[in-house]
């Protein structure tokens, strides 16, 4: 037909209403072919709606969807080059594992011997060799999701949609399945679009992440960028464990801005932001970058330091969170590895200083 | 749920009461069947077993013809009601005006037979007159007699009567079905019909079959609406009403009542046995599942 | 896989879209609605119109007259209508007293798996023709029927009681025997929606039997009880069979009055009676809905 398109998915001003309720406002973005893409956001934010629109399970109220350059907005799910893995309950309970996986091939009238081969190959890929004759209710939750994955992958469609595929699994299993999904995606090389509300899951599997909230695309970028240098305040609050402080811009220079947060003036790098003096703005800093020291200790040369009062520590296993209160009453958190020597130095009520590398703070315009 | 602290004798007493009510509800029917096999009929001091009354009934050509009509009516009613109940249940799942829809679908349950029959009778008579008038004014007559009282009007009356029951049964079975499975089927490449036929239908089959049995029995037993709407033929239950009103408690009436109840009991018995056997099978499968499964 | 997206079909032709999932296929689902509006709602609504038509010798003609209503209210029919309401109310109360405790018992004391099987026991009699069941009350309740012969055999009676057949009492007994299972179904369905923990909380709080019944079971089951009661009430009023077969001379109910009007070819009168009956029903349902919110009954199936 046409030349191969680099964009697997392109969504233009896509919107969806349910009567008076708007689930998705007007979202535009594109996904390159062969990526593992995560749609991350809080529940009810519209990410599942977006996925189901791409899959053809919902009809858009506005906008268009292009898959590999073709407008598919008018097509039902079975005529799109997509396949979907659901959260749960989606295996056909009256069919064996084998028949579940073979179902789509049967509809395509693939010869029976081919079907057997392809089903076996797929079951091997998802690690379920020999489970052919089991019924879905004889499988664990993780195994059921593997069967779903096989059922979708066997069709060799170009785009795989995963709607909270791991949400009903326990934490340990979810971690294993994440790595498994990543491995499978790298092996088959097709585009995966994975919806989740779990940031750890998204960071583990995805090359790129889109943050979706309140029916809007908040931010989109590589997993590392979204985690380390979020542009939007919402992203900073949603991903990782960030401290967000608000203030007024008091000075703007070529490389950064100075934020007046009441009791201190903070230098924040702002390479491309267009802000002007007097505007309200905020900055965020990840809690693992914060360090707490005594008032007169020298933390570091290029560090931004403010006075604070020690509140308490909370043991979280791998890390310990230290809570301190700034002069204006806001509380910030510093996370330290549990086995480092920095724990237990202060008592609640102690006067301390808290600091962070000045160049790691990120400015968020309101 | 079971209360470990309840007095076992109170529970036994309650069971006895429950079974007594079932007995009271069923006893008259079995008593009637008993009479129908007595050569001397009701009230006789001696009981002499015989099939004579049944022989008389089944030897009556008019009655055999009425059985034939009953069968036609039942088949036509099932053929129309079951697909429609499936459509209604699907419609219920997707519509946003659930309450209004269910109210419309279930309200026939609350309109007594004679009232609904009278209204439909007058409705069809008017409709037939309207169609005849329309045919005359247009000069074409092929639809003149569509709504003259007859088989079609009787079937419509029976659909209105049986549909709510079939709808409820199918809806209850369908409520256990997960929509994700339809979507998964669509994602596998099935079109809407294939998704229904391969994935949803096998899971609601039991409900569809039991509603078929349900509709059969209701159609078979229905007398009042049919009597008002049927036009020129008689069903078995119409004949029984006539028999009871004109001749009273004759041996034939008992035999006819016997036939009606025995047919119903056979149908419902089959359904119950099938359901119980199925439940047993599912239970056995569940037990097998509880044991560790070998992974090969 | 260089030529990604090769399987994507072009937009379908217009006629294909017409029969596709947004065209005719979508409208197929409206068939039941259309059918029920056409052959159920419309006839019921038009009943009101026909009830004010002029009566002719064999049929009726358009017009406006309240003659049928006058005829109804000034004859013995109105009195009989009220009387049949009383009989129906009695049948409802008796069905509740006999049937509802059974529904509670099944819900509370029978194991989950067995509950539906016990309910099946009550579907069985309902599945046998009402005609036969009502008819069968004759040899049971009659002068030398089962009840009398057994009671006399036991020496409890010396004379057969005749008040239980061909009498108002016979009609009430017939109605209860016909419709009792509905009270059990409706009550059970309503109680099935009540979570087990509610009963457990009550046990924990030491709620007494009476309080449990009055404060918990009755209010929670009220919509179901009401639906069952309305069903029994209107059917006791409207099913002509019962007074025909079990009532004494002149015994009628609303259904039988309508039926007799049809037989006498007085169609406007039949329609007027149907109208009054339908209004009685709608009024009852409206009151019930205001009191108990009948939409709650639908919860288990939505």
Least confident of A137-141, A273-277, A308-312, B188-192: A273-277
Q: How do residues A355-365 score in pLDDT, each as one tens digit?
A: 999 888 888 88
How many inter-chain contacts (B to C, CB under 8 Å) are there?
235
Q: How far is Cα B155 from Cα B33, in angstroms, rounded to an integer?
A: 29
Distance from CA of A59 to the nearest CA of C (A): 11
Chain A: list its partners (3+ Cβ pairs within 8 Å).
B, C
Distance from CA of C1 to the nearest CA of B (A): 19
- The pLDDT, as a whole number, for residue B288 is 63
Look at residue B3 and tell me if it is in a domain: no
Residue of B nearest to C241 (CA): B224
Q: Residue B290 above 60 pLDDT?
A: no
Task: With CA atoms as reference, report the closest residue to A8 among A282, A191, A175, A145.
Answer: A191
Residue of C nearest to B19 (CA): C121
Contact C140 B28 (CB under 8 A): yes
Q: Residue C226 above 80 pLDDT?
A: yes
Q: Report long-range pairs for A316-324 (Cβ below 8 Å, ≥24 apart).
A: A319/A288, A321/A241, A321/A287, A322/A292, A322/A346, A324/A292, A324/A352, A324/A354
Q: Residue C251 above 80 pLDDT?
A: yes
Residue of C nearest to B258 (CA): C132
What's the whole-number average pLDDT of chain A? 89
- Report, as an integer, the average pLDDT of C235-256: 88
Contact assessment for residue C223 and residue C190, using Cβ atoms and an 8 Å cutoff: yes
- The pLDDT, as a whole number, for residue C223 is 86
- The pLDDT, as a whole number, for residue C96 is 94
- Report, as an integer, the average pLDDT of A142-163: 92
Beta-strand (E) ranges in B144-262?
Answer: none
Distance from CA of B293 to the nearest CA of C (A): 25
Q: Where are the domains of chain C?
A: 14-50, 70-301
Least confident of A27-31, A144-148, A181-185, B277-281: B277-281
Q: Which residues in chain A are closer than 8 Å to C17, comparing Cβ atoms?
A: 74
Best probe of the A interface among B189, B190, B288, B293, by most A CBs < 10 A, is B189
Residue of A nearest to C3 (CA): A4
Look at residue B28 and tell me if it is in a domain: no
**Exposed/middle/buried for residue C61 (C-beta within 10 Å: 0-12, 13-18, 19+):** exposed
Contact assessment for residue A299 and residue A353, using Cβ atoms and an 8 Å cutoff: yes
β-bridge partners, A163: A195
Which residues touch B167 (CB under 8 Å, ≥6 apart)?
B85, B88, B89, B105, B106
Look at residue B227 and tell me if it is in a domain: yes
Can you give the residue range of the structural domain that contains B151?
A: 61-248+260-271
Eight-state DSSP code of residue A272: S
Share above pLDDT 90 across residues of chain C, in percent, rounded to a whole number: 30
Best probe of the B interface among A48, A51, A77, A130, by most B CBs < 10 A, is A77
Residue of B nearest to C105 (CA): B14
Closest by Cβ to A89, choosing from B178, B293, B295: B178
Least confident of A129-138, C83-92, C190-199: C190-199
Q: How far is Cα A321 from Cα A328, in angstroms, rounded to an integer?
A: 20
**Exposed/middle/buried for residue C267 (C-beta within 10 Å: 0-12, 13-18, 19+):** buried
Closest by Cβ to B264, choosing from C109, C129, C139: C129
What's the whole-number average pLDDT of chain B? 86
What's the whole-number average pLDDT of chain C? 85
- Nearest-10 Cα torsion for C142, C143, C149, C152: 140
Contact assessment for residue B263 and residue B58, using Cβ atoms and an 8 Å cutoff: no
Tokens of B245: 């009103």
Contact C138 B249 (CB under 8 A): yes
Tokens of B76: 């036509």
Domains annotated for chain A, with CATH where assigned, are 7-232 (3.40.50.300), 241-365 (2.40.50.100)
Best probe of the C interface among B6, B10, B13, B25, by most C CBs < 10 A, is B25
Contact B189 A130 (CB under 8 A): no
Contact C1 A158 (CB under 8 A): yes
Q: How many CB atoms lie within 10 A of CB A322?
A: 26
Tokens of B280: 């047993």
Q: How far is Cα C267 from Cα C272, in angstroms, rounded to an integer?
A: 9
Contact C9 A79 (CB under 8 A): yes
Q: What is the CATH number of the domain that holds B121?
A: 1.10.3720.10
Eight-state DSSP code of residue C214: I
- Report, as an integer, the average pLDDT of C155-164: 84
Look at residue B285 and tell me if it is in a domain: no
- The pLDDT, as a whole number, for residue C143 is 83
Q: Residue C45 above 50 pLDDT?
A: yes
Q: How confident is the model at residue C31 (pLDDT cuts 50, 70, 90)?
A: very high
Q: Which residues in chain C are closer than 8 Å to B206, comparing Cβ atoms?
A: none
- Report, as an integer, the average pLDDT of B89-108: 89
Best probe of the A interface among B181, B184, B198, by most A CBs < 10 A, is B184
Would an 8 Å CB–CB cutoff place B118 in contact with chain C? yes
Q: Given CATH 1.10.3720.10, say whether it is the number of domain C70-301.
A: yes
Tokens of A165: 């595929």
Closest by Cβ to C5, choosing from A69, A75, A76: A69
Q: Which residues in chain A are closer than 8 Å to B181, comparing Cβ atoms?
A: 89-93
Task: With CA atoms as reference, report the closest residue to A282 among A159, A160, A365.
Answer: A365
Q: Which residues in chain C are closer than 8 Å to A75, comparing Cβ atoms?
A: 8-9
Q: Which residues in chain B are closer than 8 Å to C41, comparing Cβ atoms?
A: 104
Eight-state DSSP code of residue A279: -
Distance from CA of C109 to the nearest CA of B (A): 5
Helix (H) or strand (E) holding C54: strand C54-55
- The pLDDT, as a whole number, for residue A207 is 92
Would an 8 Å CB–CB cutoff place C19 in contact with chain B? no
Eight-state DSSP code of residue C28: H
Residue of A nearest to B291 (CA): A138
Q: How far is Cα B176 from Cα B197, in angstroms, rounded to an integer?
A: 17
Closest by Cβ to C237, choosing from B112, B228, B267: B112
* Count of domains observed in chain B: 1
Would an 8 Å CB–CB cutoff place A155 in contact with chain B? yes
- Report, as an integer, the average pLDDT of A310-314: 90
- The pLDDT, as a whole number, for residue B201 is 92
Q: How many CB atoms lie within 10 A of CB B200?
A: 20
Q: Residue B169 above 50 pLDDT?
A: yes
A residues 13-72 near B, CB within 8 Å? 19, 55-57
- Report, as an integer, the average pLDDT of B167-187: 89
Contact A76 C21 (CB under 8 A): yes
Look at residue B139 and tell me if it is in a domain: yes
Q: How do residues C5-24 score in pLDDT, each as one tens digit?
A: 555 666 666 666 565 666 67
Q: How confident is the model at residue B292 (pLDDT cuts 50, 70, 90)?
A: very low
- Report, as an integer, the average pLDDT of A344-357: 88
Q: How many CB atoms lie within 10 A of CB C5?
A: 23
Contact C132 B94 (CB under 8 A): no
Q: How many CB atoms lie within 10 A of CB B3?
A: 12
Chain C: list its partners (3+ Cβ pairs within 8 Å).
A, B
Q: How confident is the model at residue A64 (pLDDT cuts 50, 70, 90)?
A: very high
Q: Which residue has the tokens 């066997």?
A: A154
Contact C5 A189 (CB under 8 A): no
Q: How do residues A235-271 score in pLDDT, each as one tens digit?
A: 998 988 899 998 888 888 877 888 888 888 888 887 6
Q: How far is Cα C162 from Cα C141, in angstroms, rounded to an integer?
A: 8
């Amino acid at each position: 037909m046409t030349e191969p398109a680099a964009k697997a998915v392109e969504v233009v001003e896509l919107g969806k209403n349910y009567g008076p309720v708007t689930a998705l406002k007007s979202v535009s973005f594109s996904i390159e072919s062969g990526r593992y893409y995560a749609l991350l956001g809080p529940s009810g934010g519209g990410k599942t709606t977006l996925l189901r629109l791409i899959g053809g399970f919902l009809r858009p109220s506005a906008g268009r969807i292009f898959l590999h350059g073709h407008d598919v907005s008018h097509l039902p799910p079975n005529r799109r080059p997509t396949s979907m893995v659901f959260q749960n309950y989606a295996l056909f309970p009256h069919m064996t594992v084998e028949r579940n996986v073979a179902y789509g091939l049967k509809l395509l009238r693939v010869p029976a011997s081919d079907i057997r081969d392809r089903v076996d190959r797929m079951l091997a890929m998802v690690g379920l060799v020999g489970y052919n004759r089991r019924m879905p209710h004889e499988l664990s939750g993780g195994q059921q999701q593997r069967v779903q994955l096989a059922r979708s992958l066997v069709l060799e469609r170009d785009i795989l949609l995963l709607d909270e595929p791991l949400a009903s699994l326990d934490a340990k299993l979810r971690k294993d399945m994440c790595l498994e999904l990543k491995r499978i995606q790298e092996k088959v090389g097709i585009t995966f679009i994975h919806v989740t509300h779990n940031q750890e899951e998204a960071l583990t599997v995805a090359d790129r992440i889109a943050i979706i909230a309140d029916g809007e695309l908040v931010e989109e970028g590589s997993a590392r960028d979204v985690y380390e240098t979020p542009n939007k305040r919402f992203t900073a609050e949603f991903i990782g464990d960030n401290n967000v402080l608000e203030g007024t811009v008091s000075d703007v220079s070529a490389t950064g801005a100075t934020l007046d947060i009441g009791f201190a003036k903070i230098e924040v790098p702002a390479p491309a932001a267009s802000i002007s003096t007097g505007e309200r703005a905020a900055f965020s800093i990840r809690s693992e970058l914060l360090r707490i020291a005594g008032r007169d200790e020298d933390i570091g040369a290029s560090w931004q330091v403010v006075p604070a009062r020690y509140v308490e520590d909370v043991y979280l296993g791998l890390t310990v969170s230290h809570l301190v209160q700034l002069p204006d009453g806001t509380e910030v958190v510093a996370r330290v590895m549990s086995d480092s020597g920095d724990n237990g130095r202060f008592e609640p009520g102690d006067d301390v200083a808290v600091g962070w590398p000045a160049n790691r703070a990120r400015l968020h315009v309101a | 749920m079971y209360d470990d602290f309840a007095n076992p004798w109170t529970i036994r007493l309650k069971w006895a009461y429950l079974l007594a009510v079932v007995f009271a509800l069923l006893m008259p029917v079995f008593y009637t069947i008993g009479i129908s096999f007595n050569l001397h009929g009701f009230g006789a001091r001696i009981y002499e077993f015989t099939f004579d009354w049944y022989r008389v009934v089944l030897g009556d050509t008019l009655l055999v013809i009425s059985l034939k009509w009953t069968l036609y009516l039942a088949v036509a009613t099932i053929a129309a009601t079951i697909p429609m109940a499936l459509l209604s249940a699907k419609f219920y799942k997707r519509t946003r005006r659930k309450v209004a829809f269910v109210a419309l679908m279930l309200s026939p349950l609350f309109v007594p037979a004679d009232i609904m029959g009278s209204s439909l009778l007058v409705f069809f008579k008017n409709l037939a007159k309207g169609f005849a008038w329309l045919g005359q004014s247009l000069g074409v007559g092929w639809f003149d007699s569509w709504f003259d009282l007859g088989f079609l009007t009787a079937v419509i009356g029976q659909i209105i009567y049986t549909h709510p029951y079939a709808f409820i049964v199918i809806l209850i079975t369908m409520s256990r079905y997960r929509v994700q499975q339809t979507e998964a089927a669509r994602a596998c490449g099935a079109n809407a019909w294939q998704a229904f036929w391969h994935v949803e239908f096998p899971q609601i089959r039991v409900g569809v079959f039991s509603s078929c049995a349900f509709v059969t029995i209701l159609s078979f037993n229905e007398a009042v609406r049919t009597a008002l709407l049927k036009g020129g033929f008689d069903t078995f239950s119409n004949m029984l009403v006539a028999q009871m009103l004109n001749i009273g408690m004759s041996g034939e009436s008992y035999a006819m009542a016997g036939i009606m109840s025995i047919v119903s009991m056979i149908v419902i018995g089959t359904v119950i046995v099938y359901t119980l056997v199925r439940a047993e099978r599912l239970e056995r499968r569940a037990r097998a599942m509880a044991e560790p499964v070998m992974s090969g | 896989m260089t030529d990604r997206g090769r399987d994507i079909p072009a937009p379908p032709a217009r006629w294909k879209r017409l029969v596709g999932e947004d065209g005719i296929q979508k409208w197929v689902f409206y068939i039941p609605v259309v059918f029920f509006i056409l052959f159920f709602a419309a006839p019921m609504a038009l009943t009101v119109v026909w009830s004010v038509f002029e009566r002719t010798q064999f049929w009726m003609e358009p017009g406006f007259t309240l003659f049928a209503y006058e005829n109804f209210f000034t004859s013995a029919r109105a009195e009989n209508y009220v009387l049949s309401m009383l009989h129906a109310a009695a049948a409802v109360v008796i069905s509740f007293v006999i049937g509802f405790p059974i529904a509670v018992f099944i819900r509370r004391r029978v194991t989950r798996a067995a509950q539906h099987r016990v309910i099946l026991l009550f579907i069985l009699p309902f599945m046998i023709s009402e005609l036969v069941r009502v008819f069968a009350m004759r040899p049971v309740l009659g002068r030398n029927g089962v009840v009398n012969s057994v009671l006399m055999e036991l020496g409890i009676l010396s004379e057969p009681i005749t008040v239980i057949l061909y009498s108002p009492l016979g009609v009430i007994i017939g109605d209860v025997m016909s419709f009792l299972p509905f009270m059990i179904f409706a009550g059970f369905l309503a109680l099935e929606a009540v979570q087990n923990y509610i009963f457990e909380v009550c046990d924990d709080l030491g709620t007494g039997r009476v309080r449990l019944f009055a404060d918990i079971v009755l209010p929670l089951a009220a919509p179901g009880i009401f639906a069952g009661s309305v069903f029994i009430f209107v059917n006791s009023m409207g099913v002509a069979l019962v007074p025909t077969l079990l009532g004494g001379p002149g015994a009628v109910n609303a259904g039988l009055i309508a039926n007799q009007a049809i037989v006498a070819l007085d169609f406007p009168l039949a329609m007027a009676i149907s109208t009054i009956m339908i209004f009685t029903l709608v009024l009852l349902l409206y009151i019930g809905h205001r009191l108990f919110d009948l939409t709650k009954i639908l919860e288990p199936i939505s």
